[in-house]
Amino acid sequence: MTSVATDVRRADVCCVAIAECFRGDGEIVANPIGTIPRIGGLLARLSFEPDLVMTDGEAMFTNADGAVEAWNPYRSMFDVVWSGRRHVIMGGSQIDAFGNQNFAAIGDMKKPKAQLLGFRGAPGNTVNNVTSYWVPNHNPRVFVDRVDVVTGVGYDAAAAAGPAATRFHSLRHVVTNLAVLDFATPDHRLRLRSVHPGVTVDDVVAATGFALVVPDEVPTSRTPAPEELALLERLDPDGERFAEVPDA
């Protein structure tokens, strides 16, 4: 398949795709972790999801301009987490076809080739809250047939663990620098949802280390409207998003 030339900046498309992850969420805690996830979460709140509750990553709930709306002590945050009233967007060093995620170590956990972040709350996030993933560099080393360590719990692992793991378990989307993927298949296997402007289906398939579910027709990811571009400039005047996802 041939790509379509475009002057839309890839990072802006990624921010919009992250924002779309929160569409329909209403009044929950949005916890997008990282530069583009946070920009995308704020974009959602300022445009079509005004009831989203944002965190400052420490002990406050804030609005889109950073003004404090409420105190959020550690104990209160866990009340939110354990009740399923949160949508978190995490990264991942490895992700497999059923959404198992790893950012603890590469290789055998007893003697890893590389020690990474650790488990960092990922098991609790994935079994208690809606979870999406952000991958700024879509490649076969990230999208692997089987993760070396399960930190974030995928659909197959949650089903094997039983009702305690499946009650609030809901993996929604995986947004990357190439595409948007989801788990909207009968067996919750990762499916190609859209490709970003200038990217082909073949590009995404080649960058994935397992067989994706690919529909007969794959749309192009939504590009930002003019008013969204203005919001992105307001939210990220220094252009940090372009450092994370350079133009293709």
Whether residue 167 is contained in a domain is answered as yes
* Residue 112 belongs to some domain of the structure: yes
Task: Give domain status of residue 247, yes or no.
Answer: no
Q: Is residue 62 part of a domain?
A: yes
Predicted pLDDT of residue 218: 97
Total domains present in the chain: 1
Per-residue model confidence (pLDDT) at position 68: 73
* Cβ count within 10 A of residue 156: 17
- Is residue 206 one of the residues assigned to a domain? yes
Residues of the chain with pLDDT under 70: 1-6, 56-60, 64, 72, 74, 115-116, 118-120
Position 64 in a domain = yes
CATH number of the domain to which 119 belongs:
3.40.1080.10
Per the domain annotation, does 38 fall within a domain?
yes
Determine the pLDDT at residue 24: 95
CA 113 – CA 105 distance, rounded (Å): 7
Cα distances (angstroms) measured from residue 93 to each of 79, 160, 184, 199: 28, 23, 22, 22
What is the pLDDT, as a whole number, of residue 108? 80
Read off the pTM. Answer: 0.89
Domain that holds residue 99: 10-238
Q: Could you report the per-residue pLDDT of 16-43, keeping only the tens digit for each?
A: 999 999 999 998 888 898 999 999 999 9
Q: Is residue 248 part of a domain?
A: no
